[in-house]
Amino acid sequence: MRVLHSRQWGGYHESVKELETSFARFHQVEHAVACSNGTIAIEVALRALGVGPGDEVIVPPYTFIASASAIMLCHATPVFADIDPETLNLSVKAAEAAITPRTRAIVVVHFGGRPAEMDAFQALARRRGVKLLEDAAHAHGARWCGTPVGGWGDVATFSFQSFKLITAGEGGMILSRSAEIAEKCWSYCNQGRKRDGGWFDHYTLGTNYRITGFQSAILCEQLKKIPEQNKIRGENVAYFRDGLKDIPGFTLMADDPRIEQHPYYLLTLRYYPEGFGGVDRDTVIRALNAEGIPIKATYPHPLYRNPLFAQKSAVLGRCSGWHAGQDYEHLNLPEAERVCRDGVWLNHTVFLGERRDVDDIIAAMKKVKSLASTISSLQTVG
């Protein structure tokens, strides 16, 4: 109502500043710039790091397209490095092996909310003189080794799109410990203005990537709920992990004591058909869906298998200065390929309920498992 009655509904309403201040404080980072979505946030952050034509940026292939397409929108080249099967995040070793003299930055994604090994990535980036961007679109409030995500890299980005842990339908956020990087991001999102400059004074080439006052007001309220919701999900996932011990066909990644807070945006399980009498993953998913469990297959393929990357010359070549880094068509990163075949997701809303909701999931899994031999023989009959 404050925004409604202000007659200033757009990106210059005071609630935007309030959101930036409280989001930065929550993640213990000095500077924040709100913007229109998480994709724009990555693009703007990369520009602020100086990423441009001719540069390479290392990125995992097991993530949403935005982590890579934002690099291309800066006319730079995404270079895919494989994930670590123990975490499903970018492998530190693979990232290091992918560094070339053209590498300008590494985009680390805290996939599903699980914080990446940021101490190791920070050390790698410093040692090899490359910039570090945390794509924290899934990881609001996650903590690694006592420190929240968002302040480990040179810059970090978040999303408030409809599926995310907190949402205003759309929205994004950029965090940085550097006042200089934050000022560049703010200016880029605000038509090249300066925060303390005039409305018609434009210092750099920018555009309008602002979030609105309404979105910010909603997000200020939602932000207050994150600690409690992260706690509830943590407890329910621990209980779920215990229940899974009786269902050998599904496994969860091991806990890591260095993860102080995992918000469980997406809980990824690995499926082994041997545990379900050889029934394939997608059939088991359909059976569980029929039992009312909203379980889904993960991404159908690693990012580089998208048709976009097959159109190298037709699409990417139009970006001036773009250079072909990897042969995407023949790329085969085994761990990313494997999790796209055997991974399944349960999303964060599933674990916001009570223990008996978790019991429902376990009971449905047991039921489908008990029917596995029947399903399997029906499949054989065709």
Ligand X SMILES: Cc1ncc(COP(=O)(O)O)c(C=O)c1O
Per CB under 6 A, contacts with ligand X among 171-210 are: 172
What is the token pair recorded at 204? 């750099």
- Phi, psi (deg, nearest 5) at residue 172: -150, 165
Nearer to ligand X, 163 or 203 (CB): 163
Binding residues for ligand X, total number by CB under 6 A: 14
Among 38, 115, 148, 263, binds ligand X (CB under 6 A): 38
Q: Does 362 bind ligand X (CB under 6 A)?
A: no
**Nearest to ligand X by Cβ — which residue?**
38
Per CB under 6 A, contacts with ligand X among 106-135 are: 109, 135
Strands 77-80, 147-148: parallel, antiparallel or unpaired by DSSP?
unpaired
Work out how close the CB of 66 gets to ligand X at its nearest, in angstroms, rounded to a whole number. 4
Work out how close the CB of 63 gets to ligand X at its nearest, in angstroms, rounded to a whole number. 5
Nearer to ligand X, 66 or 166 (CB): 66
Work out how close the CB of 64 gets to ligand X at its nearest, in angstroms, rounded to a whole number. 3
Q: Does 137 bind ligand X (CB under 6 A)?
A: yes
Q: How far is CA 174 from CA 3, 18, 36, in A?
A: 23, 14, 11
Nearer to ligand X, 226 or 363 (CB): 226
Work out how close the CB of 139 gets to ligand X at its nearest, in angstroms, rounded to a whole number. 9
Nearer to ligand X, 130 or 266 (CB): 266
**Interacting span for ligand X (CB under 6 A) from 46-54, 58-66, 99-107, 216-224:** 58-66
Q: Does 63 bind ligand X (CB under 6 A)?
A: yes
Q: Are 57 and 76 in contact (CB under 8 A)?
A: yes
Nearer to ligand X, 247 or 259 (CB): 259
State whether the Cα torsion 48-40-17-159 is positive or negative: negative
Per CB under 6 A, contacts with ligand X among 65-94 are: 66-67
Q: Are 345 and 296 in contact (CB under 8 A)?
A: yes
CA 35 to chain centre: 16
Nearer to ligand X, 40 or 130 (CB): 40
Work out how close the CB of 172 gets to ligand X at its nearest, in angstroms, rounded to a whole number. 5
Q: What SS3 state is found at 359?
A: helix
Nearer to ligand X, 193 or 215 (CB): 215
Nearer to ligand X, 37 or 368 (CB): 37
* Cα separation, 29 vs 136, whole angstroms: 14
Eight-class DSSP state of 165: S
Work out how close the CB of 206 gets to ligand X at its nearest, in angstroms, rounded to a whole number. 19
Work out how close the CB of 220 gets to ligand X at its nearest, in angstroms, rounded to a whole number. 18
Nearer to ligand X, 164 or 369 (CB): 164
DSSP for 266-322, written as a single string: EEEEEE-GGGGTT--HHHHHHHHHHTT---EE--SS-GGGSHHHHTTTTTGGGSTT-
* Cα separation, 174 vs 155, whole angstroms: 7
Cα dihedral 209→214→219→221 (10° resolution): 160
Gap between the terminal Cα atoms of the chain:
60
Report the alpha-carbon angle 211-144-87, nearest 5: 95
Per CB under 6 A, contacts with ligand X among 297-356 are: none
Among 13, 31, 39, 372, binds ligand X (CB under 6 A): 39
Q: How far is CA 180 from CA 31, 70, 151, 286, 347, in A?
A: 10, 21, 15, 50, 36
Q: Which residues contact ligand X (rule: CB under 6 A)?
A: 37-39, 63-64, 66-67, 109, 135, 137-138, 159, 161, 172
